[in-house]
Amino acid sequence: RKEVEQDPGPFNVPEGATVAFNCTYSNSASQSFFWYRQDCRKEPKLLMSVYSSGNEDGRFTAQLNRASQYISLLIRDSKLSDSATYLCVVNGLDSNYQLIWGAGTKLIIKP
């Protein structure tokens, strides 16, 4: 089992729709969780951290379910510019601040 697993997609979604995807992680002791966005052949950019109580940033909502070991990302009122690959990232516990990266979920917003 991979340490961080994501549905690779692609998710084809019409503009304005709501889309959600999950990410599962294997290490129950993981403490920090993030969603990054990566455009093709570009560096990943932090979209949002995921807090235990869940958090929202504009049209984006992230949630953590420790019991089932998954995090989710919800995008409301999707825009064409939301098309990208969304990477789920889990912070390990070693002293090098290692991040464990999912392979990403590709999202395509269609007009």
Partner 1 sequence: GAVVSQHPSWVICKSGTSVKIECRSLDFQATTMFWYRQFPKQSLMLMATSNEGSKATYEQGVEKDKFLINHASLTLSTLTVTSAHPEDSSFYICSASAGRGGEKLFFGSGTQLSVL
State the residues that interact with partner 1 by CB under 8 A. Answer: 4, 8, 32, 34, 41-46, 49, 87, 89, 91, 96-99, 101-104
Pairing, β 105-110 against β 11-14: parallel
CA gyration radius, the chain: 14
CB of 77: closest distance to partner 1 in angstroms?
26
The residues near 37 (Cβ < 8 Å, ≥ 6 apart) are 44, 45, 47, 84, 85, 86, 87
Nearer to partner 1, 26 or 98 (CB): 98
CB of 30: closest distance to partner 1 in angstroms?
11
CB of 97: closest distance to partner 1 in angstroms?
6
